[in-house]
Amino acid sequence: MKKQSISSVILGAAFLMATSAVGPGFLTQTTVFTKQLLASFGFVILLSVVLDVFAQLNIWRVLTVSGKRGQDVANETIPASGYVLSALIAFGGLVFNIGNIAGCGLGLNAIFGLPVEYGAAISALAAITIFLVKEAGKAMDVFVKVLGVVMIGLIAYVVYASNPPLIEAMHRTVIPEQINALAIVTLVGGTVGGYITFAGAHRLIDAGVTGTESLKEVNRGALTGICLTAIIRFFLFLAALGVITMGLTIDDANPPASVFQNAAGTVGLRIFGVVMWAAAITSVVGAAFTSVSFMKTLNKRIEAKTNLTIVAFIVLSTAIFLIVGRPVKILVWAGTLNGFILPVGLALILLASRRVSIMGEYRHPLWLQIAGWLVVLIMAGFSIVTLWGSV
């Protein structure tokens, strides 16, 4: 693969991971927790970024060096664990995708006034089209890059319009007034939990970017993806904080929409529609691609018909949404669910990192292993606290 091609694939993988994380749930979670924690939510974002970096670097490096997908590495580490991991991630991806499809409908409703159900169906067809073209991988890379840049630009404008208290936000990002375990579990789960953690690495494996010779590019891709996600999260947090500081009300029925509308009026509502649709449609693509990538090496029929299986996954997500509907709670709950999956998946990858049969002559850095196990312990601890508090 040529240098330029590798760079393009790496950037595409970074955007795939970032835009997979930035879905309707991401927008809703960020707004809901900013309303609850105010400027202290900045600390939760900062902590989630640190945890994200260590989780991603471990998973991207181990998988790309071995050249094997997450479920295969897991199975070789602990027999049958790959099947369990695949089931957890496929289920989490499906739950997320129902919310993603709903977000597509909400986005087109805000832009054009289309009924949410019609907007969802049209968007599902658009996502399906990507996987019906001859070079679906390249089409997916271009798609997520373009919409990722659009999202960053539009949210930056809303931050400017809302005029948030930047000094207070910076202060509380470092010294918070309160810390919320549920917010941390949900945020990390919505950023690198479940299928999201593996999205970029699986894309690189599909493109043939594997082996120790690719480690430099792999590191760059993982860090770029985390940075993109962090930028969007901080921008959205600042926009919501600015609206709250102005004394305006955030509507619990559609929290992110009210932030954009309060900050920039009717134009803001249209911008929300574009951002919501872009966030949702790219997440539909990322969730479907990664969830199916966990199933295809476990079943030869799925592997032979990968793109058609992805199409079926999108159709199923859309059908469930059209039948069940779109409660805001499911978008927050999906991130929490994926937060529980993260310590399981990361622990399996860390165990695999020490196996010569999987990693060959490569020696995974000790500092990364230690940092990875700290993430596992922290996320497992916060998950238990969250579960205990909900009982």
Span 221-250, average pLDDT: 86
Q: With bands split at pLDDT 50, 70 and 90, how would you rate the model's confidence at 208?
A: confident
Least confident of 33-47, 64-78, 86-100, 349-363: 86-100
The total number of structural domains that make up the chain: 1
CA distance 19 to 280: 9
* Residue type, position 372, single letter: G
Helix (H) or strand (E) holding 299: none
pLDDT number for residue 386: 64
Residues sharing a CB contact under 8 Å with residue 302, sequence separation 6 or more, in sequence order: 292, 295, 296, 309
CATH of the domain at 267: 1.20.1740.10
The torsion defined by the Cα of 303, 209, 339 and 227, in degrees rounded to 10, comes to: -140
pLDDT band at 92 (very low <50, low <70, confident <90, very high): confident
Q: Which residues contact 115 (CB under 8 A, 6 or more apart)?
A: 105, 109
- Provide the domain limits for residue 223: 3-390
The tokens for 158 are 């809303």
The pLDDT-based confidence of 268 (bands split at 50, 70, 90) is: confident
For the stretch 356-369, pLDDT in tens is 999 999 999 999 99
Q: Which of 163, 291, 147, 167 is nearest to 232 (CA)?
A: 147
pTM of the model: 0.84
pLDDT at 66 over 90: yes
Amino acid at 293: S
